[in-house]
Amino acid sequence: MARVIVDVMLKPEILDPQGQAIVGACGRLGFAGVEQVRQGKRFEVEIEGEADEARLADVRRLAETLLANPVIEDFELRVE
Amino acid sequence: MTARVGVVTFPGSLDDKDAARAVRIAGAQPVPLWHDDADLKGVDAVVLPGGFSYGDYLRCGAIARFAPIMTELVPAARSGALPVLGICNGFQILCESHLLPGALTRNESLHFINVEQRLRVESAGTAWTNRYTAGEEILVVLKSGEGRYTAAPDTLDELERTGRVVVRYTGGAPNGSERGIAGITNEHGNVVGLMPHPEHAVEALTGPSEDGLGFFTSVLAHLADGVPAGSSAR
């Protein structure tokens, strides 16, 4: 079994009001110097066998099709 | 013959009954459609109603997009043949299905918005808005937490240039939608998606106005004419 991590983030040009709200909370909580926070999602995808090229290609297709919306989000894959 | 307008129920749909009622008040026969049946039952048009399909898991509309009914609906809608109206969650499903460009994201304020909202009808050239006049203002309910329309700047430019912005918020978009966009259509004018709820504004007793009924009478007029949407000047 292998585990593939898929990180999904809003594209830089897409407004992230949740991240902005977190920045606001940082200030109120005394975490000075936090300038920006962007909030994303992390998926842990466990697959049968080794994370070879073919299986990674499958996970990439899964990410493009379902896990991320390419209109507003970017994603990155890595094997853990 | 009475037009038959399907209303899809997904797990988590909320406004399917109201949509069916609006269809009936407009003079058509509502036909319940089930998300898990890949069967459009020969309907003449389809409404994707509001709600929280599949609990809004992952992203609003992201799971509903792959429901069995959508395998029938998407090709028929994409070809320009089948009129489809997506309201609120239905609009989100249409964007996730790539039947409409762009996406709906979290309201700029992060607050769920529930207001009676004025809209300006920008295009009366679609299957769902031909009974309105371009520039007409209507009052309907807006109730959503993820209704901020966004798209790439060149997509927004194209929507504006080709008259595919269907309705716009007046007095500024309460959710931060880009260019005040409340609803859009595809290149054929048969697929329309909007965040506000015309189906809640179809009679004086229960709604802020009867302004929303025009969406449903429009599709009947469209079906009666047999004229493809988008063939008239917008």
Q: What is the pLDDT of residue A18?
A: 94
**B117 contacts B196 by C-beta, under 8 angstroms:** yes
Helix (H, G, I), strand (E, B) or coil at B110: coil
pTM score: 0.94
Q: Which residue from B78, B180, B85 is spatially nearest to B129, judged by alpha carbons?
A: B85
Give B64 to chain A, closest Cα distance, Å.
Answer: 11
Q: pLDDT tens digits for B140-196?
A: 999 999 999 999 999 999 999 999 999 999 999 999 999 999 999 999 999 999 999
What pLDDT score was predicted for residue B233?
Answer: 38
Spell out the domain ranges in chain B. Answer: 4-225
Question: Helix %, strand %, coil % for chain A, to 5?
Answer: 35, 30, 35
Three-state DSSP state, B199? helix
Beta carbons of A66 and B58 less than 8 Å apart: yes
Test mutation, B59, B100, B159, chain A, max A CBs within 10 A: B59
Question: For A35-55, how does the pLDDT look when each residue is reduced to its tens digit (9 = 90+)?
Answer: 999 999 999 999 999 999 999
Nearest CA in chain B to A69: B96
Taking the alpha carbons at both ends of chain A, their separation in whole angstroms is: 11
CA atoms within 13 A on the CB side of B195: 34
CA distance B103 to chain A (A): 7
Q: Report ipTM (2 d.p.).
A: 0.90
Q: Could you give the domains of chain A?
A: 2-79 (3.30.1280.10)
CATH class held by domain B4-225: alpha beta
Give the Cα separation of A50 and B225 in Å (integer).
Answer: 59
Chain A residues in contact with B101 (beta carbon < 8 A): 71
Q: Judge: A72–B66 Cβ closer than 8 Å, yes or no.
A: no
